Amino acid sequence: MAEDLGGLLPRIQSPPPGPRSLEMAERLSRVESRNITHLTPDFPVFWEEARGANVRDVDGNIYLDLTGAFGVSMAGHTSPAVVEGIRDQAGRLIHGMGDVHPPAKKVEFLEALAALGPWPNSRTILGSSGSEAVEAALKTALLVTGRPGILAFEGAYHGLTSGPLAATHREDFRGPFLSRLYKGVRFAPFPDSRDGDRAVKKSLDKVRWILREGDGGDEVGAVIIEPIQGRAGVRIPPPGYLEALADLTWNEKALLIFDEIFTGLGRTGALFAFLHEGVVPDLLCLGKGLGGGLPLSACVGPARIMNAWPPTRGEAIHTSTFLGNPLSCAAGLSFLRELRKGDLVARSETMGRKLLTLLTTSLAEISEVSEVRGRGLFVGVDLRHPGTNRPIKGVAVRAATLALREGILVLPAGAAGHVLELSPPLVISEEQLDWAVPRLKKVVEKALAE
């Protein structure tokens, strides 16, 4: 690994995708199912190594990563502390028997996770992917309430395995599988702060109606929401909304699930996004950064809720082969320590403020930039036709390709691909942000002109 990789500015030596990336794309197309990796002459590049906020591709190009690789690499790519934790564990035990003869690391990790709060006596179900954490939370809610119905939100993304997919809103994800999906999920509008009080009222009226009267379908036992919607384009509900939602939910004796798979663990400048609003849910889903880059997720709740699960009698009714995998738990433990040691939550808050200010100032004169919004290092640039509320379809997808040529990794978000989503590693430096913002401005201008 290049010694100084991590805090560097981009160095493009072979216009991306370079020849080795193109060759990899050709090879991949012959072995991977075609629905997975989007391969075009301009996209993607294949990664070889990464550290901090830098990624180096197979052609030797160095990028500044403003995605955190789907928001996962919170302590930075290949964080030395996490590498050390993995290395140490890998030499002793790579796989255990999660729910039979558990690895000791599982206990240590669960204790560290419980110490994060917000409950003094939490209980956890571990998984490998975010989808699994959501699956576990939805099952728990059914056990607690006996009511299978689910209330989710327009724009929601909770994962793509069948249970969570039923609560994921986007039509392109759901459409082909609709006939298989659970029919008892109802969607309420997610209020954007840009739309103000009217949007809040509209959303809460619908929530109230679904919870109280309903449409004659399955009664709702679970209300699941991202406190800030991620893949829908960093959508932040107005202050007070989550509190009102919690009141309605609890009045009807349903369970409130916060899916903080994207927003949790410091991404938004607080350990959990719900801390900004002071509303503690009944169940919390975590994933992405939790395993320091290894697959690890969690459904966490207080014992009074989680004890709706019967004690296992030797054959766990909800488990999986890799539950509590020692390598993932070791990586997760190192990550949680690093989060504290590096004061990364506070860093997310300060650097996020800086990024938001820089972007707001820099993009002010572009009339298509309808909003730059964010919390901590979770920021979205929303692009709409001026004077209307209409998203500019695909503009952020074009911007992501153009940014790649400048040495910047960004992702599009929003159902129309109209939001540039930034979720960099929390260790990104001021110098890197200062460098990136004027380039992003150029990229947005170019994408709008295409």
Ligand X SMILES: Cc1ncc(COP(=O)(O)O)c(C=O)c1O
Nearer to ligand X, 159 or 342 (CB): 159
Nearest distance, CB of residue 241 and ligand X, angstroms: 17
**Which member of 134, 248, 397, 428 binds ligand X (CB under 6 A)?**
134
Range in contact with ligand X (rule: CB under 6 A) among 81-89, 104-112, 208-216, 255-263 = 255-263
Nearer to ligand X, 261 or 377 (CB): 261
Number of Cβ within 10 Å of residue 9's Cβ equals: 16
In the structure encoding, which two tokens stand for residue 4, read together? 């100084």
Nearer to ligand X, 32 or 197 (CB): 32
In the structure encoding, which two tokens stand for residue 209, read together? 């109606």
Place of tokens 């030499």: 91
Number of Cβ within 10 Å of residue 197's Cβ equals: 10
**Which member of 98, 287, 293, 324 binds ligand X (CB under 6 A)?**
287
**Which member of 110, 125, 248, 261 binds ligand X (CB under 6 A)?**
261
**Which member of 129, 334, 362, 401 binds ligand X (CB under 6 A)?**
129
CA distance 81 to 280: 31
Q: What is the DSSP string of 183-206?
A: TTEEEEPPPPGGGHHHHHHHHHHH
**Count of chain residues binding ligand X (CB under 6 A):** 14
Range in contact with ligand X (rule: CB under 6 A) among 130-138, 300-308, 366-374, 403-411 = 130-138
Nearest distance, CB of residue 72 and ligand X, angstroms: 9
**Which member of 56, 105, 231, 347 binds ligand X (CB under 6 A)?**
231
**Pair 425, 64: CB distance under 8 Å:** no
CA distance 172 to 285: 24
Angle between helices 344-363 and 430-449 (to 10 degrees): 40
Q: Which residue type occupies 285?
A: C
Nearer to ligand X, 234 or 403 (CB): 234
Range in contact with ligand X (rule: CB under 6 A) among 208-216, 225-233, 379-387, 436-444 = 225-233
How are beta strands 408-409 and 62-65 bridged, if at all? Answer: parallel
CA distance 386 to 392: 10
Nearest distance, CB of residue 319 and ligand X, angstroms: 17
CA distance 103 to 93: 8
Q: Decide if residue 130 touches ligand X (CB under 6 A).
A: yes
Q: Decide if residue 259 touches ligand X (CB under 6 A).
A: yes
Best CA proximity match to 69, nearest among 354, 320, 219, 262: 262
Nearest distance, CB of residue 388 and ligand X, angstroms: 28
CA 372 to chain centre: 19
Nearer to ligand X, 298 or 416 (CB): 298
Q: Decide if residue 230 touches ligand X (CB under 6 A).
A: yes
**Pair 227, 258: CB distance under 8 Å:** yes
Q: For residues 136-175, which are near ligand X according to CB under 6 A?
A: 157-159
CA angle 394/158/382 to nearest 5° reads 30
Q: Decide if residue 226 touches ligand X (CB under 6 A).
A: yes
Nearer to ligand X, 58 or 327 (CB): 327
Nearest distance, CB of residue 142 and ligand X, angstroms: 19
Site of interaction with ligand X (CB under 6 A): 129-131, 134, 157-159, 226, 230-231, 259, 261-262, 287
